[in-house]
Structure 1
Amino acid sequence: MKIFRTVGIPDVATLINASLGLSAIFAAHEGYFSLAFVLILMAAVADGVDGYLARMNCSSPLGEYLDSLADVISFGVAPACVVYFLYCGELCIPAALIAVIYLSGGILRLARFSTKQKSIPDFEGLPITASAVVISSYMLLFPRYVYPYFLFSMMLLLAYLMISDHPYPKLRGTRALAFVTVLFSATIVSYLLPEIFLHVFSTMLFLSLMLYLESPIMKIPRQYYEE
C-alpha cells in the first residue's frame, strides 16, 4: 500500500501517541483511572518525541495532519472521557458539559494552529498537550487535594486559555527540555512504585505546569525556556 511509503519515523511516534490516548480511554472505562492519566502523560512524551524527530528533518507529508488528529484523541477526547467516566455518577451532567466544553476548546485550538501562519516564536494560546498534562498531573495528586468542582473550573480555564491569544513560550533549551524529560519520566515510572511516589512526582509536575500557565502574566524571561 502506497500510504506506508509516506510514513516517516516521526509518524510512528505520532501513532503511538494516538494509541496511548485510546488506551487511556479503555483503562478509564475499566476503572483504572490512575493508569489512564499516566497513559495520557506517556502520550505527551510521544508527542514531544515526534516533534523532536520532525525538527530533525525527518518529517513526512502526513506529519502535520497526523499530529493534529493524534492530539485530538490523546489530549482532547481522552481527558474528557476519563473525567466523565470518573464523575459520571452524581455529577454526570456537569461532568458531561465540562468534557464537551474542554474538547471543543481543544479542537478549536488545534484547528487554528493548523491553519494559521507561524509568524511568531511562541504558541498562540495554551497548547492542548499542556492542558492535558495539567489535568492528568492534578488528578494524580494526593486524593485529599483533588476536588471535582475545582477540576471542572480548571478545565473551563484551560478551554479558555487554549483558544486565547496569550503567548506561551516553546521549550527549546537543553536544560529546560532535560528538566521536563526527567520530571515526566519520574512521574510515569513512579506508577510502578509505591503510590506515594506517584503523588509526590505528580505534585512537582503540576506545580511546574502552574508556573507555565502563568507565564503570560508573570512575563518570565524567555531565556529560562531557551537555555
Structure 2
Amino acid sequence: MYLGFVAALKSERVRSYVSRHWYYHPNAICVWRVFIGLSGILLYFVAGQHAWGILLFTVSAVLDGVDGLIARRCNLITPFGEELDPLCDKLTYLPPMFFFAYMGLIDVRAVWALLIIEACGQFLIRYIIKRFTKFSVAANNFGKIKAVLCFALIIYCALLGDAFQLPDFSAQMLYVCIILSISSSVFKTIPNRFYADILSILNLLCGITGIFLVFQGRYVYTAIAIVAGQIFDLFDGRMAEKHGGTKFGPWLDDIADLVSFGVCPGLLILFKGNLELPSFIFGILYFLAIGFRLWRYLAHDKDDKTLPPGVFNGLPSPAGAMVALGACLFWTNLWMIWAVILLISYLLVSHIRFVHFGRVILRRVPRTFVVIFGFIIVFIIAYLIKTRDPETLGALLLISFLTYLITSSKMIITKGT
C-alpha cells in the first residue's frame, strides 16, 4: 500500500490531482487515520472482530507514513500539519496501549509514563519551543521511529492476545518507545549545532556502559550497547554536516569511537580468551589497530584530496567493532576468533578503500526505508534483550558486516569506473 503511493506520487499528474482535492491533503489523512485506527480498536476490543480490528489498525499505521509522503512530494507541509501529525499518532496508538495494559499484556505503569512523556512533548515542550525559540516542532527521526515502533507494539500485542505462538518481548519494546519519546522531546529543545556533540556523547556513554557489562560477563548486552553506539555514531557526522557543530566535535567523536569501538571490544576479546596470553596479544592488537585507524584519519585522511567524498582509507572502526563483537559471540573456538581479529586488524590499518555507510550507502536509501530500517534494528534489539542469545546476535553482526562489505566493494568499483 505504501509503496503504491510512493510509485504513484512520482507522476506530476498524480501530484497535481492530490494537491487539488482536500480529502487527499496530509492534514485530512491525519484525521482519517485516527478514525480508521479507533474503528479498528472498537472492532478488536468491543465487537470481538480481531482480524478486522488488526487490519484497520494496520491501515491506519500505514497512512501515518502516507501523509508525510504526500506532504513532502506535493509541497503541502504546513505549520499546523507539523503539530497535527504527532498528535494524531498519539490519539491512535495510546488508547489501545491502555487496553492491552489493563488486560495484563504490558506494564500499566510504563504506559502511564509514556502518556505523561508524550503529553509533555506534545503540549508543554511544543509551547516552549514556539514561544521562546524558532526551532521546528515537526517530528524528528527519534519521534518517527518511536511512532512506527508504537504502532508495531499494538499489532504485536494484538497477536499475543490472540494466543499466537510468539516470543513475548513487548515490555522491551515499550521501554524502547519511552526512551525514544524522551529523546525526541529533548532534541527538540536543543540548538541544532549541539546535535552532533550530543550524539557523540551518547556513543561514548554506550562504550562506557559496554565496558562495565564486559566486566560483569554480560556479553550480549555489551554488544547491544555498542550497536546502540554505532547508531549514534552513524548520525553524528550527518548532524554536523547538516546543522554544523562545535570545535570540540571531531575530537569528541574520535574519543567516543576509541572507547566504544576500540576499548570495549578489545576488553571483550581479552575476557573471551579467559585473560590468557593470546587474548592479551589479540586484544591489544585490535585496540592498537583501531587507535591507528582513528589517528590516521584525523592526521592524514581527513584532508586527503585523493580520497573521493564518502570513501575511507581502511575499514571504518564501527565495522571493525561489529566483526570483533560478532566473532566473539558467534564462535566458541578461540583460534577462529583470533583469525578474525587478525584479519580485521589488517583491514583497519590497510589502505583498502571502503565507503561510508551513512554518507554514501544510507543516502541512496529512501528516507522512509531508513525509518523502517531503524525500527527493525530496535525490534531486533528488543528481541535480543529478551532472549539473550549470543549466537543469534553474533550471526546478525557478521551478516551485517558481510552485507556492508559487498555493498561497499560494488560502490568502490562503480566509483572507479
TM-score, normalised relative to structure 1: 0.81
For the residue of structure 2 that corresponds to 1:94, the secondary structure is: helix
CA spacing shift, 1:107–1:138, aligned 2, 3 Å: same
Alignment of 1:132-143 (within 5 A): 132-141=321-330
- Alignment partner of 1:164 is 2:353: no
CA contact (8 A) 2:269 2:328 kept: no
- Alignment partner of 1:51 is 2:237: yes
Work out the CA distance in 1 between the residues paired with 2:350 and 2:245: 28
State the match for 1:98 in structure 2.
282
Work out the CA distance in 1 between the residues paired with 2:379 and 2:393: 7
- Bigger Rg, which one: 2
Deviations 1:106-149 (A, max 9, x none): 111000100121422210000111100112233444xxx44221
State the match for 2:381 in structure 1.
188
- Alignment partner of 1:149 is 2:335: yes
CA contact (8 A) 2:355 2:412 kept: yes
Aligned mate of 1:42, from 225, 228, 249:
228
Aligned mate of 1:208, from 400, 408, 412:
400
Work out the CA distance in 2 between the residues paired with 1:174 and 1:202: 27
| Higher mean C-alpha deviation, range 55-64 or range 179-188 | 179-188
Aligned mate of 1:61, from 247, 258, 270:
247
CA shift, 1:174, in A, is 4.1
Work out the CA distance in 2 between the residues paired with 1:140 and 1:85: 12
CA contact (8 A) 2:220 2:393 kept: no
CA contact (8 A) 1:186 1:201 kept: no
CA spacing shift, 1:65–1:195, aligned 2, 3 Å: closer
Aligned mate of 1:129, from 290, 309, 318:
318
| Higher mean C-alpha deviation, range 110-119 or range 174-183 | 174-183
- Alignment partner of 1:114 is 2:298: yes
Work out the CA distance in 1 between the residues paired with 2:373 and 2:319: 12
Work out the CA distance in 1 between the residues paired with 2:393 and 2:267: 24
CA spacing shift, 1:204–1:23, aligned 2, 3 Å: closer
CA contact (8 A) 2:200 2:232 kept: yes
Work out the CA distance in 2 between the residues paired with 1:109 and 1:22: 20
Kindly report the root-mean-square deviation, in angstroms, between the aligned alpha carbons of the 2 structures.
2.8
For the residue of structure 2 that corresponds to 1:168, the secondary structure is: strand
For the residue of structure 2 that corresponds to 1:31, the secondary structure is: coil
What letter matches 2:401 in structure 1?
L
State the match for 1:32 in structure 2.
218
Deviations 1:168-218 (A, max 9, x none): 01232242883864554344222223345x7546524422312434567xx
State the match for 1:83 in structure 2.
269
Unaligned runs of 5+ in 2: 1-190
| Higher mean C-alpha deviation, range 57-66 or range 180-189 | 180-189
CA spacing shift, 1:160–1:20, aligned 2, 3 Å: same
CA contact (8 A) 1:24 1:82 kept: no
What letter matches 1:192 in structure 2?
I
Work out the CA distance in 2 between the residues paired with 1:54 and 1:110: 18
CA shift, 1:222, in A, is 5.3
Work out the CA distance in 2 between the residues paired with 1:206 and 1:184: 15
Work out the CA distance in 1 between the residues paired with 2:299 and 2:403: 28
TM-score, normalised relative to structure 2: 0.46
Q: Percent identity?
A: 22
CA contact (8 A) 1:87 1:95 kept: yes
Work out the CA distance in 1 between the residues paired with 2:329 and 2:380: 9
CA spacing shift, 1:65–1:161, aligned 2, 3 Å: same
Work out the CA distance in 2 between the residues paired with 1:189 and 1:224: 37
State the match for 2:61 in structure 1.
none
Unaligned runs of 5+ in 1: none
| Higher mean C-alpha deviation, range 51-60 or range 100-109 | 51-60
Q: Which has the higher contact order (CA 8 A, sep 6+)?
A: 1
CA spacing shift, 1:105–1:180, aligned 2, 3 Å: farther
- Alignment partner of 1:221 is 2:411: yes
For the residue of structure 1 that corresponds to 2:410, the secondary structure is: coil
What letter matches 2:281 in structure 1?
L
CA spacing shift, 1:68–1:175, aligned 2, 3 Å: same
